[in-house]
Amino acid sequence: MPLTNAQYDEIGRIYSRRQQRDLEDQQQRIRRAYEQVPGLKEIEEKITDLTCERGRAMLAGQKNEAERTAGELLNLRASKKKMLADAGLAADELEIRYECPDCRDTGYVGGEICHCRKKAVMDLLYKQSTIGDALQRENFRTFRFDVFDKEKRDPQTGRTGYETMQEYVRICRDFIDGFPGQADNLLFTGQAGTGKTFLSHCIAEELIRRCFSVLYLPAPKLFERLADSTFRRDGSGMEDADDVMTCDLLIIDDLGTELANSFTSSPLFTCINERILGKRPTLISTNLSMNEMAGFYTDRITSRLMGSYRILRFPDRDIRVYLRFGENGK
Ligand SMILES: [Zn+2]
C-alpha cells in the first residue's frame, strides 16, 4: 500500500485528530458525571491514589500492604459502579471510548496495520481520486455485458462486440491482479459512448478497494497540472505533480480533448516516460484512432504508446451500448 508522502501525512493527521477527539470526549463525560453524581469525583481520586500505593507496595515487596490496597480497590470500584448505575450512567462512562477498540485508535495492532487504517486509507484514496461518486455507480458489479452485440462480427477481428468486451474485461482483471509491479499500461481507443470511461472506472474502483492510489484526470486537467508545476516558481504545484508521477495508477481520460488548447507535448512525454521507468502503470482512454494520434502527437510519444501500452480498441457502438455508456457514461 504505497502512499505518497502527502497521503501518509494526511492519514497521520486523521489519527491524531481521532485520538484528540477521544480524549476530549472522555473529559467532557467525566466533567458531566462529576457534576451529576455527588461523591463520584472523590471516589475516583481515591482509586487513583490507591492504585499508586498498591504499585509502590508491590515494588517494595510489601505483600500485606499490596493485598490490603487490592481489597480496598475492589470495594471502591464496586461502589463506583453502583453510583454510576444508580445515576443511569454506563459502566464505562468515565473511560475513553475508542472509535476502533481493536487498535485503540492508533491504526496498528501488534505492529500490524489495523483494519480501520486500511479503511481510512481507502476513504482518502476515494476522496482524492476525484471520481468517488462516479465509482459508486460505475464498477465491475454494475458492468453489464448484455448491452453488447452478440451477432454482428467486426470484419477486422471476426469477433462480436460481446466477445471482445468479455476478453477486455478479462484483460482488465489481469491488469488489476498485476498490482503492484506487474501491471502493463493500457490504452483504450474507440468512439465516444462505447464504455471506455466506464471500464476505466471499474478498474479504479477495484484498485482503490485494494488500497492502491488512483489518480483520475481528464486530459485538459492533466495538462493544466503539468503546466502549473513547471511554471510555478514557489514550488506550490510540486505536490500535485508529485501525485501525477507517484500514484499507483494514473488514468488520463479523453486524451485528445486537450488539443483545443495550445499546449506543448513535452510534459506529456515526461509524465508517460517517467511512469514507465518507475514501473507505475498508466491507463489512457481516447476517442482518437491510432492514426489520428500519430498525426497529433510527436513521434516519441506515439512510439512510447505503441511500444509500452497494451492497446484495446473498443467495438463500435450501437444504440444499446450508446444508451448505456453514452452521454453520462462515455
Ligand atoms: Zn483500528
- Angle at CA 164, nearest 5°, toward 163 and 168? 120
Residue 140: which domain range? 129-325
Distance 107 CA to ligand 1 centre (A): 5
- Angle at CA 271, nearest 5°, toward 250 and 233? 110
- C-alpha distance from residue 311 to each of 102, 154, 241 (Å): 46, 17, 26
Q: 316: closest CA among 326, 308, 307? A: 326
Question: Which pLDDT value is given to residue 133?
Answer: 79
Encoded amino acid at 272, one letter: I
56 and 202 housed in the same domain: no
Q: Provide the grid cell at 65.
A: 500492604
Question: Which pLDDT value is given to residue 27?
Answer: 96
Distance 119 CA to ligand 1 centre (A): 9
In a domain, 75, yes or no: yes
Instruction: Point out the domain boundary residue: 55, 76, 111.
Output: 111
Q: Provide the grid cell at 276.
A: 514507465
Instruction: Point out the domain boundary residue: 111, 141, 173.
Output: 111
Mean per-residue pLDDT, 119-137: 79
Encoded amino acid at 138, one letter: E
Instruction: Indicate whether 240 pLDDT > 60.
Output: no
In a domain, 116, yes or no: no
Q: Provide the grid cell at 128.
A: 482524492
236 and 303 housed in the same domain: yes
Distance 102 CA to ligand 1 centre (A): 5
In a domain, 136, yes or no: yes
Instruction: Indicate whether 324 pLDDT > 70.
Output: no
Question: Average pLDDT of the chain?
Answer: 85
| Position 177 confidence tier, pLDDT thresholds 50, 70, 90 | very high
263 and 141 housed in the same domain: yes
Distance 118 CA to ligand 1 centre (A): 9
Distance 100 CA to ligand 1 centre (A): 5
Tell me the torsion sign for CA atoms 222, 135, 249, 162. Answer: negative
In a domain, 135, yes or no: yes
Instruction: Indicate whether 223 pLDDT > 60.
Output: yes
Instruction: Point out the domain boundary residue: 81, 111, 141.
Output: 111
Question: Which pLDDT value is given to residue 13?
Answer: 94
167 and 265 housed in the same domain: yes
pLDDT tens digits, residue range 66-111? 999 999 999 999 999 999 999 999 999 999 999 989 999 999 999 8
190 and 293 housed in the same domain: yes
Distance 114 CA to ligand 1 centre (A): 5
167 and 257 housed in the same domain: yes
Q: Structurally, how many domains does the chain consist of?
A: 2
In a domain, 121, yes or no: no
188 and 261 housed in the same domain: yes
Question: What percent of the chain is predicted at pLDDT more than 90?
Answer: 44
pLDDT tens digits, residue range 137-160? 888 888 888 888 888 888 888 898
Residues near 69 by Cβ (< 8 Å), separated by ≥ 6?
50, 53, 54, 57
Distance 8 CA to ligand 1 centre (A): 16
33 and 147 housed in the same domain: no
Distance 98 CA to ligand 1 centre (A): 9
Q: 33: closest CA among 93, 109, 85? A: 93
Q: Is the pTM of this model over 0.95?
A: no
8 A C-beta contact, residue 149 and residue 161: yes
Distance 30 CA to ligand 1 centre (A): 24
Question: Which pLDDT value is given to residue 329?
Answer: 44
pLDDT tens digits, residue range 203-220? 999 988 887 888 888 888
Distance 21 CA to ligand 1 centre (A): 15
pLDDT tens digits, residue range 8-66? 889 999 999 999 999 999 999 999 999 999 999 999 999 999 999 999 999 999 999 99
| Position 268 confidence tier, pLDDT thresholds 50, 70, 90 | confident
3-state secondary structure the chain: CCCCHHHHHHHHHHHHHHHHHHHHHHHHHHHHHHHHCCCHHHHHHHHHHHHHHHHHHHHCCCHHHHHHHHHHHHHHHHHHHHHHHHCCCCCCCCCCCCCCCCCCCCCEECCEECHHHHHHHHHHHHHHCCCHHHHHHCCCCCCCHHHCCCCCECCCCCCEHHHHHHHHHHHHHHHHHCCCCCCCEEEEECCCCCCHHHHHHHHHHHHHHCCCCEEEEEHHHHHHHHHHHHHCCCCCCHHHHHHHHHCCEEEEEEECHHHHCCCCCHHHHHHHHHHHHCCCCEEEEECCCHHHHHHHCCHHHHHHHHHHEEEEECCCCCHHHHHHHCCCCC
